[in-house]
Amino acid sequence: MTLARQLMASAALIALTMPAARAADLPPIYETPIYQDVPEVQPVEIGSGWYLRGDVSYGFSGDLDAKYQEYRPDFATYPGDFFSGYNAYQYDTFSAPHEGFTLEDSFEFGVGFGYQFTDFFRGDLTARYYKLDVEGSDKTESCYDASAAQGFDTSLLECDSSLSAEGNALELMANAYVDLGTIAGFTPYAGAGAGAVRVTYEDVSGRSRCAYAGAVCAPAYYDFDASYKGEDSWRFAYSLMAGVSYDVSRNLKIDVGYRFTDVDGGKMFSFDGAGANGATAEDDGFQRHSISAGLRYALW
């Protein structure tokens, strides 16, 4: 019995130790974690200096010189010489230049986009729209000359003409600016621009009156009302700017400034008929002084 018990105990011991030995030969169930560097996520950059801008300006009234000629088949014979290419005996010429025209003040609206090249230099492209209303009056040159030639007392003579026109201007400019450093969020700047302006005249109307010693001239060559066909034209223009911007945030700036614009001359209205009343005119260009307030938003 003792031997049998020893054999049974040995068999039980072998049975118990065999799974443990096999388990020791097997790989571990859980391996040591392997750590790898994850690439840093880079934000998508919309721009690295681009900005949008928008502003509202107020343009002050100014003078406008113009050359103006009027046609009537029943005009008295008068050898005018301003428009030598026409039948001068049937054309009446206002004094050149016509100095009675005035550009009315109006609001301007502008948008654009640009690029900040350095902390001190930037440039942008802008589009601007504004009304261009004209009012004017002057003396009728030939009325005085013809009356004086016939011996009339010109101190008793009233030969006046007036003209009004509604129009608009679309301005396209390329501009460059120098930012003069930032102090407490304020950045003064100066700039200049060059481009083109499309000037469009609409609804042009004229009026001419003649009186001598308080009575209407007879025959009434110079007493009439008329309307004319407005013209449009592209003209060269340049501008000078100065102002200051303020940093509202990293991306947003408030911009306040002054702007001077000089626009070349072009056609105002024309007469292309024959045998009827009509007129043609060209302006000598104009200048605008305006103050503006706007926003600039940086796309970064």
Indicate the fold that domain 53-298 takes in CATH.
Answer: Porin (2.40.160)
CA distance 209 to 91: 16
pLDDT band at 89 (very low <50, low <70, confident <90, very high): very low
* Average per-residue pLDDT for the chain: 77
Which stretch of 28-37, 61-70, 175-184, 222-231 has the lowest confidence by average pLDDT? 28-37
Quick check: 257 pLDDT over 90? yes
E strand or H helix at 144:
helix 141-149
Q: Where are the domains of the chain?
A: 53-298
pLDDT band at 90 (very low <50, low <70, confident <90, very high): very low
Percentage of the chain beyond pLDDT 70 is 63
204-238 pLDDT tens trace: 887 777 777 777 776 555 666 777 788 899 999 99
E strand or H helix at 18:
helix 2-25
Q: Which residues share a beta bridge with 286?
A: 263
Q: How far is CA 17 from CA 11, 23, 26, 143, 253, in A?
A: 10, 10, 15, 136, 81
Could you tell me whether strands 215-216 and 157-179 are parallel, antiparallel, or unpaired per DSSP bridges? Answer: unpaired
Could you tell me whether strands 266-270 and 62-71 are parallel, antiparallel, or unpaired per DSSP bridges? Answer: unpaired
What is the pLDDT, as a whole number, of residue 88? 43
Is 0.85 topped by the overall pTM?
A: no
What's the DSSP call for residue 31?
Answer: P
Exposed/middle/buried for residue 137 (C-beta within 10 Å: 0-12, 13-18, 19+): middle
15-37 pLDDT tens trace: 555 555 454 555 555 555 565 66
Question: Tokens 């009304």 map to which residue?
Answer: 131
What is the pLDDT, as a whole number, of residue 94? 46
- Strand, coil or helix: what is 180? coil
What's the DSSP call for residue 155?
Answer: G
* Residue pair 269/230 in contact by the 8 Å Cβ criterion: yes
- What is the average pLDDT across 133-150? 69
**Cβ neighbours of residue 101 closer than 8 Å, sequence gap 6 or more:** 63, 64, 65, 66, 134, 135, 136, 163, 283
